[in-house]
Amino acid sequence: MQRNKKDIRHPVLHRSVWEIELRRKTSRVAAVITSGFLLVATIGLAACGAAGPYNESSGLPNTALTPGLVNPEVTQANIGSTICVSGWTGTVRPPVSYTNALKYSQLHSGYNLDGDMNMKNYEEDHIVPLEVGGHPSDPRNLFPEPRNIRNGAYVKDKLENRMHRLVCTGQLTLRKAQAVFLTNWQKGYEKYVGSLP
């Protein structure tokens, strides 16, 4: 009598052969989808003619390439169980392997500062930060933010922390905090933190 696939158990994992095969195929499909997503992002950046989106006085993202995007799973109604929970961003933050591959792709497509393609000089940053409900992995919300310019990554981090506190203490709505990053974060810095350094 032939046994059903579900009845054949892996001796160590205690899973059916069918379950193991399904997990293997699902992992492979996820890897193909991620690779395809990065390839499309790279082609899109190159087609847009991304060269030179930064200058020393700006540090703002190229909104034609990366306009910013919010996470539809985060709403004003659920901030108490999402962004305002300590450590929550770690549960949605994409892996470094993903963000490094995207950063490499963006830099080599021309999305860099004066031709500098040294990955250590950039932070792959969320335009709308995870702390205020930014989309974790969509390339439209991730950009190679220069670290070593006047208003670079370290300055923006101060605003991100401030906006998170304002939202989680009820002093500012989630939508208003997100709008600061979807427009011009430097103006938001001056309004909510103080003069830019």
pLDDT at residue 54 in the model:
52
User: pLDDT tens, 101-151?
Assistant: 999 999 999 898 888 999 999 999 999 999 999 999 999 999 999 888 888
pLDDT at residue 101 in the model:
97
Mean of per-residue pLDDT scores for the chain:
80
What is the separation of C-alpha 59 from the centre of its chain, rounded to a whole number of angstroms?
17
Q: What's the rounded Cα separation, in Å, for the pair 53 and 19?
A: 48
pLDDT at residue 163 in the model:
98
pLDDT at residue 89 in the model:
97
User: pLDDT tens, 163-174?
Assistant: 999 999 999 999
Q: For 53-101, give the DSSP string.
A: ---TTT----TTT----B-TT--GGGGGGTTTSTTHHHHHPPPHHHHHH
Q: Is the pLDDT of residue 99 over 90?
A: yes
pLDDT classification of 95: cutoffs 50, 70, 90: very high
Phi, psi of 7 (to 5 degrees): -85, -15
7 or 158, greater pLDDT: 158
Q: Is the pLDDT of residue 152 over 90?
A: no
Q: What's the rounded Cα separation, in Å, for the pair 183 and 178?
A: 9
Phi, psi of 144 (to 5 degrees): -80, 95
Contacts of residue 50, defined as CB under 8 A and 6 or more positions apart, other chains included, come to 62, 65, 106, 109, 110, 111
Q: What's the rounded Cα separation, in Å, for the pair 130 and 146?
A: 19
pLDDT at residue 10 in the model:
41
Q: Which two tokens stand for residue 166?
A: 């304002």
For the segment 63-82, the average pLDDT, to the nearest whole number, is 96
Q: Compute the half-sphere exposure of residue 18: CA atoms within 13 Å on the CB side of its CA.
A: 6
pLDDT at residue 23 in the model:
53
Q: Are 6 and 26 in contact (CB under 8 A)?
A: no
Residue 73: helix, strand or coil by DSSP? coil
